[in-house]
Amino acid sequence: MKTPARLDIDAILDDEGTRIIVCCGAGGVGKTTTAAALGLRAAERGRCAVVLTVDPARRLAQSMGLTELDNTPRLVSSPEGGGRLYAMMLDMKRTFDEIIEAHADPARARQILSNPFYQSLSSSFSGTQEYMAMEKLGQLRRSDEWDLIIVDTPPSRSALDFLDAPERLGRFLDGRFIKLLTAPAKAGGRSAFRLLNAGFGLMAGAMTKLLGAQVIKDLQTFVSALDAVFGGFRQRAEMTYQLLQAPGTAFLVVAAPERDAMREASYFVERLAEERMPLAGLVVNRVHTSPASGLSAARSAAAAEDLESRGEHELTAAVLRLHAGRMQLSAREHREQEHFISAHPTVPVVRVRAMSEDVHDLTGLRQIGDLLATA
Amino acid sequence: MDSPDPDWADVRLHVVTGKGGTGKTTVAAALALALASGGRKVLLVEVEGRQGIAQIFDLPPLPYEERRIAVAPSGGDVYALAIDPEEAMLEYMEMFYGMRRAGRALTKMGIVDFATTVAPGFRDVLVTGKTTEAVRRRGRNGRRVYDAVVLDAPPTGRITRFLNVTKEVAGLARVGPIKNHSDLVSGVVKSPETAVHFVTLLEEMPVQETLDGIAELRSAGLPAGGIFINMVRQSLLPQAALDSAVKGRLDPDEIVLGLKAAGVADGAQATELAAALAGEVVEHAHRTELERAERETLAGAGVTSYELPLLADGVDLAGLYELAETMRTQGAA
């Protein structure tokens, strides 16, 4: 395996041109922890940073002193040297409501907010969280109160969802079906009108059968109300997208040395390249290493077997077995990373060794930050 | 050989959930094999479009079709199905209304995309609907087609919402076919024929999520099943050695002697190596201690738990059979 370049975390954090860091990757690889640790390290190196997190594990939130999901950045730490760390948890519904309120007159906003379809969309649409995280990111960036924003992407079904969500929402609002629901008569020339109308009749019949008449009515109200605020939506999504492509943004793909996570990391790197998003590098969390790596798994296991067959030095035999297992694990983790590294030899990588305990406080986050920067 | 009295003998629908990274799909696949062994027929269902089953069984991507993918130990078949909500909707419209053409029109118009986008509750009801249909399906002889159905479900954070379909679509459809359909699904999911199993690791975050998930499930009136503790590492060291390692009192001299006796190292090299190995032991001891604490925390949930070993060579087909066997000896199937 080629040795990839080392990802220099401190160079990214210290560069004042870095304004946004996006941590992305599969679920369960320690994205949020990485984001929080980067935030703390940045603050301790003098940056005024805010960590925007979506649905963090309770302990991790507590480690930063976050207790509620309230959409407000809270001061976590103000280390000597003038840096600051803020953190906030995204309230997806609140963020969505605010957009509606900002783009619709009060009467229309009320109509939208109380519609059952809006309530479903705003609280559980599988792209809403991603979309709102990006929206919030845009808001924080425009406020210019922080010189570094670190965002961890939602634990999506697919790690790519947050890139697709704004477009999906846009496409959805722009779709033929929405157009039909809002104004079937606006559909253009006569022949097109006839065609669409026939389609619409068939469809409306099927819909009514399937969903019931009340649902169709709710849906129509919702769509026509939303249609009015839709222009602003599209525009904002595009702005955020451009912000992500801008030079001040750094994407960090986070993974663990496991097959699925590394595969997801590969997809992600390829996708970021396609979208011309600036990739800074790959963070591989939870890597097992050994302080006695000179003693191979095979030799260690053979020695253990030798001692066991002689019935001597039971403790040493067990210790050698333990070591052999660890070397095996390390070799397997190495293999899982190989594919990625040979496919993407130019992507800088940093490996963070596995910790025996979860992070509970700022000390733990600081330790992770040290590992990220010096590994 | 059949387990004398498996813990979930009356369960027909096994829902498997877990935090990302805990090996949910692996456990679901192994459970399907375990349940099928001894001549039974089991359907393994996946719903998130990730083709995880195909990957784990080393097969090309699965279509929307039930097909046999594995033979269980001592006879028995595992079938697999990757549910696509759009296909499920078309099938549903044809089955209940004979409206396949209209269904195609809806798909073309982007309405299925629309419905599942605006209201994921619809998507979930289609997916769980198809799953429960397979659970209820009977052959010409009047017997159930599948002895059991194993569902590789969405992760712990989403599981209650996913299964609680009636509540999720209630605001959207108070009456009408969707409502009726979701009531039917709910009837199966909330019955004693269903068990929701959690996959976890002996680590803080997944354990906490498991407990939160079980509590959430119970308050929604959904049946919690067992806990599968995955990737359990066997402790090779005697408890006394672990205890002294945790207290920082592990004696490296004994390891030095052992290393010399085995001819692994000599002199200063042996001392150095012993110190490095002792470091590994201390780390291992700390982790074992944490794992013990997490195991106790899990026991507090009052749910049966099973332990599955960490597979040294990663998950392959042989590993799946090994896990299935472990499940059977522990009475999970």
A203 CB neighbours in chain B (<8 A) are: 102, 105-106, 109, 111
Selecting from A60, A209, A306 the residue whose C-beta is nearest the C-beta of B97 gives A209
Measured CA angle at A307 (ends A303, A309), to 5 deg: 115
Determine the pLDDT at residue A181. 62
Selecting from A126, A157, A175 the residue whose C-beta is nearest the C-beta of B114 gives A175
pLDDT band at A198 (very low <50, low <70, confident <90, very high): low
Nearest CA distance, A157 vs chain B (angstrom): 7
Pair A338, A325: CB distance under 8 Å: no
In the sheet that holds A249-255, the strands lie side by side as A74-77, A84-89, A48-53, A148-152, A20-24, A249-255, A279-287, A349-353
Mean pLDDT value across residues A24-43? 91
Write out residues 10-69 of A within 8 Å (CB-CB) of B: 26-29, 55, 57-60
> Between these two residues, A169 and A261, which has the higher pLDDT value?
A261
Pair B68, B146: CB distance under 8 Å: no
> Between these two residues, A161 and A318, which has the higher pLDDT value?
A318
Read off the amino acid at residue A247. Answer: P
Pair B4, B42: CB distance under 8 Å: no
Read off the amino acid at residue B270. Answer: A
Judged by CB atoms closer than 8 Å, whether chains meet at B111 and A177 is answered as yes
Judged by CB atoms closer than 8 Å, whether chains meet at A295 and B171 is answered as no
Determine the pLDDT at residue B211. 95
* Token pair for A57: 């594990």
Tell me which residue has tokens 């089953």.
B53
Contacts of residue A310, defined as CB under 8 A and 6 or more positions apart, other chains included, come to: B261
Give me the residues paired with residue A24 across strands: A253
Nearest CA distance, A57 vs chain B (angstrom): 7
**What is the C-alpha to C-alpha distance for residues B106 and B104, in angstroms, rounded to an integer?**
5
Give me the residues paired with residue A86 across strands: A50, A75
Sort B297 into a burial class: Cβ within 10 Å, 0-12 / 13-18 / 19+. middle
Give me the residues paired with residue B46 across strands: B82, B152
Alpha-carbon distance values, B96 to A215, B90, B91, B106 (Å)? 19, 10, 9, 16
Judged by CB atoms closer than 8 Å, whether chains meet at A211 and B102 is answered as no
pLDDT band at A155 (very low <50, low <70, confident <90, very high): low
Q: Could you tell me which chain B residue has the CA closest to the CA of A257?
A: B21
Judged by CB atoms closer than 8 Å, whether chains meet at A177 and B110 is answered as yes
| Best mutation target, A215, A224, A295, A338, to test chain B (most B CBs within 10 A) | A215
Contacts 24+ apart (CB under 8 A), B306-310: B306/B226, B306/B227, B306/B228, B306/B229, B306/B330, B306/B332, B307/B229, B307/B232, B308/B27, B308/B30, B308/B228, B308/B229, B308/B230, B308/B231, B308/B232, B309/B231, B309/B232, B309/B233, B309/B234, B310/B231, B310/B232, B310/B233
Give the domains, in start order, of chain A with CATH numbers. Answer: 9-297+319-374 (3.40.50.300)
Nearest CA distance, B153 vs chain A (angstrom): 12
Nearest CA distance, A215 vs chain B (angstrom): 6
Pair B147, B41: CB distance under 8 Å: yes
> What number is the ipTM of this complex?
0.79
B281 CB neighbours in chain A (<8 A) are: 319, 322
Judged by CB atoms closer than 8 Å, whether chains meet at A318 and B259 is answered as no
Interhelix angle for A106-113 vs A92-103, to 10°? Answer: 150
Pair B306, B240: CB distance under 8 Å: no
Mean pLDDT value across residues A123-152? 84
Contacts of residue B66, defined as CB under 8 A and 6 or more positions apart, other chains included, come to: B43, B79, B80, B81, B134
Pair A183, A50: CB distance under 8 Å: no
The 3-state DSSP class for residue A154 equals coil
Residue A115's CB is within 10 A of a number of other CB atoms, namely 20
Pair A247, A208: CB distance under 8 Å: no
Judged by CB atoms closer than 8 Å, whether chains meet at A117 and B118 is answered as yes
Judged by CB atoms closer than 8 Å, whether chains meet at B258 and A27 is answered as no
| Best mutation target, A210, A260, A267, to test chain B (most B CBs within 10 A) | A210
Nearest CA distance, B193 vs chain A (angstrom): 28
pLDDT band at A65 (very low <50, low <70, confident <90, very high): confident
Distance of alpha carbon B319 from its chain centroid, rounded?
A: 15
**What is the C-alpha to C-alpha distance for residues A212 and B178, in angstroms, rounded to an integer?**
8
The 3-state DSSP class for residue A67 equals coil
In the sheet that holds B148-152, the strands lie side by side as B67-71, B77-82, B41-46, B148-152, B13-18, B194-200, B224-232, B305-309
- Helix segments in chain B, DSSP class H: 24-36, 52-56, 85-97, 100-108, 111-118, 120-136, 156-163, 165-170, 177-189, 204-219, 239-246, 252-261, 267-299, 317-329
Determine the pLDDT at residue A182. 58
| Best mutation target, B22, B108, B118, to test chain A (most A CBs within 10 A) | B118
Judged by CB atoms closer than 8 Å, whether chains meet at A313 and B50 is answered as no
Distance of alpha carbon B27 from its chain centroid, rounded?
A: 4
Q: Does A280 touch chain B (CB under 8 A)?
A: no
* Token pair for A332: 């397997």
Q: pLDDT of chain B along its 333 residues, tens only?
A: 444 578 999 999 999 999 888 999 999 999 999 999 999 999 999 998 888 899 999 999 999 999 999 999 889 999 999 998 888 888 877 877 777 777 777 777 666 666 666 666 778 888 999 999 999 999 999 999 999 999 999 988 889 988 988 777 776 666 677 778 888 899 999 999 999 999 999 998 899 999 999 999 999 999 899 999 999 988 888 888 899 998 988 889 999 999 999 999 999 999 999 999 999 999 999 999 999 999 999 999 999 999 999 887 778 899 999 999 999 999 999
Q: Could you tell me which chain A residue has the CA closest to the CA of B273?
A: A292
Judged by CB atoms closer than 8 Å, whether chains meet at A316 and B258 is answered as yes
Q: Radius of gyration (Cα) for chain B, nearest Å?
A: 24
Q: Does A326 touch chain B (CB under 8 A)?
A: yes
pLDDT digits (tens, 9 = 90+) for A334-364: 999 998 999 999 999 999 999 877 788 899 9
Judged by CB atoms closer than 8 Å, whether chains meet at A116 and B205 is answered as no
**What is the C-alpha to C-alpha distance for residues B87 and B94, in angstroms, rounded to an integer?**
11
**What is the C-alpha to C-alpha distance for residues A252 and A372, in angstroms, rounded to an integer?**
12
**What is the C-alpha to C-alpha distance for residues A365 and A38, in angstroms, rounded to an integer?**
8
- Helix segments in chain A, DSSP class H: 9-14, 31-44, 58-63, 92-103, 106-113, 116-124, 128-143, 161-174, 176-182, 190-211, 213-245, 259-274, 297-310, 314-343, 362-374
Nearest CA distance, B2 vs chain A (angstrom): 33
